[in-house]
Chains A and B, each alone.
Chain A
Amino acid sequence: MNSLIKEIKDSIGDNDDLFFTEHQLTDLSVVFIGLNSLVDLGPSIKQLEKMGQKNYSSKEKLKQISQLGEIKRNASEITSLLLEGKLMIAISLNSDSVVSVDPVPVKLNRAIDQITNENTMLGPLVSFNEDSLTNIGVMRKQLLSEKIRVKHFRTGIHHKKALSLIYYEGIVEENLLETVVKEIKGNSKSDLYSLQDVTKMLGITPYSIVPRVKTTEIPSEAAQSLLKGKIVLFLDGLPFALILPSVFIDMFFLESDKNLTFPLMISLRSLRIAGTLIALIFPGLYVALVAVNPEVLRLELALSIAQSREGVPYPAFIEIIIMLVVLELIMEASVRLPKSIGPTITMVGGIILGQAAVEAQLVSNLLVIVLAATTIANSTVIGVQNLISIRLLKYIVLIFSSVFGVLGILAGVFFICAYLAGVSSIGVPYLNFKHSKGEGNNG
């Protein structure tokens, strides 16, 4: 007779945080089933006692308790509810049904926090966190509209992950919505752990240098995307919104720019575009001018560069590769390191890149200037993903320019443009500059 409880035990497995506690709920003896890592049992019982009847008769026990929640009989359903943090009440260890109730959960989510990775100068500081329901709440607070639609999906076989989709009824691109919903429903069996899994599920290739899904941790950015007809996805456990589709101008245009006046906004955005170009071209330009086409330089400049390179043992290409690798290592290390050791890296890196390498005549001091300009310019781009893709793409220009000189820079930039022109995500080309529906009115 105890098959249901046994089944539950079997399917959850040998877990020490699974509890079966017998308890007197006022005058009724019941068994609580739950995971004590997810359920705070003491307060939950108190809450149930407040909610429940004063007196339970021993007859129709189940019916009386069921007022607290829902009756469940299916073992696998009960298991997944337990994993979600629900509390089960059984009349006895032998009963063939349980009542699922909402308990007081153990606090596992951090509070809504400040933005950590995408600093804005003027704009809201609230950021998304790991809980997708919280994130949807934050979004609802941004856009008080009855046109906002939220759809929940559960995907995965081994892990049932909550995936939420938000769009703005009437503004959203219908084709886009249709495709995304179709893809999610069609691939509901795929387990989602990371952004790569999500893109794979949506039928977007993960072998892409530029991000096909825009991520942001700023709710106002996500809200503005909804008004532009885009779709926002939240995957439970990822502290940012996934915005579909991602387009080229997302690299330069931030919604919070609109908190500045129009000329300031334009100049700021042009600055980012210039920064990206500098980050892409500068290392290549250095190699092209120093090694392949010095005739392009003005004579005075050529002589002073030649002077600064006097005694440098490596050809320009090797020289810049060495320094770029050191630079990339420093950047990666400063992300990886705990905040307390971080300054050490900054200091040591500064000494190596700034002074020691030049004084030891391993590199020319012009190269240090070029590298500094590149790194600084690179950081003007919006979004961590874009930053890394620009960091990678500059090597293409660098290799071409080391072979073909100034012409190679053109070839490299052309290559990158051609690549970007070929990219499209869910039917929207990456280089889509067309105003989408609704942007004129709300954006």
Chain B
Amino acid sequence: MLKKMLIFSLLPFLLFPLSGCWDNRDINHRVMPISIGVAKMDEGYKVFLQIPEPSSESLGTRIVTGEGETINQIIDNISVNMESAVDLLHVKVIVVDKRLAEEGLNDLISGFIRSRDVSAKAVIAICDDNIDQFFESMENAEGGEGTILLDYFEKYSGWDPHVALSRVWEVYRSSHSYTRDVAIPMIKRGQTTFLEIVGSAVIKNGRLVEVISSDETLLYNAFNNKSTRGKIEILDDASVMILSNDTDYKAEFTDQTPHLQTTFNFSVMILETNGNPSAQDIKMNLEELLLDRYKALIVKLKTSEADILGIGQHFRKEIPRKDLKNWRSDYYPNLAFNPIIQVDIQNYGNLKHTTN
């Protein structure tokens, strides 16, 4: 009895040697990069880590670089040379250079997913610039705010519906899905602002195939119901802000041809007018503008055979599994897309809108 009690009272202490908690590092002994830059070299990769440096006055930024064959090896080398262990769990933004995106992101992304070092929720972006200089300028940035990149893509902070927002897991999904691709933002150094949006890169099977403008990105976001507070300029007439939008789909599959009728309902608010156009004019012009843009976008996407809108999702149940992998090449180019745009001008701001 006594022996049993002794054993049972000692058992809880096994918790410590068995759990592996001895190699927990305290937060001040970890280096927490908030963004990683990855560039393709002729052989292997070059990795940039942007590390915020807490100092007494403000948040500084340090850029650490390393070169090597694989990402993990580079990070490991950096970790060996730094005073604290590198902990990638706080990485919020991954910036890859355009060359790497053109050659294919699959190895990189599946490496991140596999190793679980980087959160699958990290945002991925393409740098349409010299990535060396891009990160260098971040270190020299006036004010030294260490979280520029992070804030740029943060929904409550600097994000705008003109910017595509794609997570690591979405890119991973797109490279393994037959019917869904993804658009990721393309950025470069700006003239007066730190960042400037170039547009969005259309990624098909992990490879950059097409670039769409930021106006088209707004439509892409509207398709996914993420366009609220996006602003649209109607040539010569007015500019409006999208208050809310919803979409209705009607998919039909006849004679091996997919038909998709999409009804977009936009509720907008008038911000600015040129001259004095009537509400009816603004409405009609806006509908026309959106319709043209959608049609142009679809044409562009069909040519590059990249389904970033996820239209194929509506036809998965119609197409046999063995044919589904040919969705992008066989069915998608034949898609009959019929967008219907309905605009509702919900309010005129603080002014009464009078028409002459």
Contacts and interface: CB of A to CB of B under 8 A. Distances in A.
Interface in B9-38: 15-16, 19, 21, 24-28, 30, 32, 34
Nearest to B34: A299
A403 B25 contact: no
B26 A302 contact: no
Interface string B174-218: 000000000000000000000000000000000000000000000
A292 B21 contact: yes
Contact of A302 (B24, B25, B90): B90
A191 B90 CA distance: 63
Nearest to B16: A403
Contact of A315 (B26, B59, B90): B26
Contact of B90 (A289, A294, A305, A399): A294
Given A299-B32, A302-B32, A303-B52, A290 B26 contact: yes
Interface string A275-305: 0000000000000011110110001101111
Contacts of B90: 294-295, 299, 302
A188 B146 CA distance: 75
B49 to A, nearest CB: 14
Nearest to A309: B28
A307 B24 contact: no
Contacts of B16: 403
Contact of B150 (A294, A299, A304, A315): A299
Contact of B28 (A295, A312, A405): A312
B34 A316 contact: no
Interface string B52-94: 1011100100000000000000000000000000010110100
B112 to A, nearest CB: 14
Interface size class of B (residues with CB under 8 A): 20 to 34
Contacts of B265: none
A276 B320 CA distance: 57
A350 B56 CA distance: 26
B342 interface: no
B119 interface: yes
B147 A299 contact: yes
A291 B119 contact: no
Contacts of A290: 26-27
Nearest to A293: B89
Interface in B132-158: 146-147, 150
A316 B26 CA distance: 7
Contacts of A328: none
**Prevailing SS type, chain A contact patch:** helix
Given A299-B32, A310-B54, A305 B27 contact: yes
B32 A306 contact: yes
A390 B16 CA distance: 24
Nearest to B119: A295
A402 interface: yes
Contact of A291 (B15, B27, B92): B27
Nearest to B31: A306
Residue from A303, A304, A404 having most chain B Cβ neighbours under 10 A: A303
B15 A403 contact: yes
Given A295-B90, A299-B90, A403-B15, A310 B28 contact: yes
B59 A303 contact: yes
B26 A403 contact: no
Contacts of B27: 289-291, 294, 302, 305-306, 309, 316
A294 B32 contact: yes
A398 to B, nearest CB: 13
Interface in A339-355: none
6 contacts: A289-B27, A299-B147, A299-B150, A309-B27, A399-B15, A402-B21
Q: Which 9 interchain pairs have the tightest Cβ spacing?
A: A295-B89, A307-B54, A309-B28, A403-B21, A294-B27, A403-B19, A306-B28, A306-B27, A290-B27
Interface of B: 15-16, 19, 21, 24-28, 30, 32, 34, 52, 54-56, 59, 87, 89-90, 92, 119, 146-147, 150
Given A294-B90, A303-B59, 14 more contacts: A290-B27, A291-B25, A291-B27, A292-B21, A294-B87, A294-B89, A302-B32, A305-B27, A305-B28, A306-B28, A306-B32, A309-B27, A315-B24, A316-B27
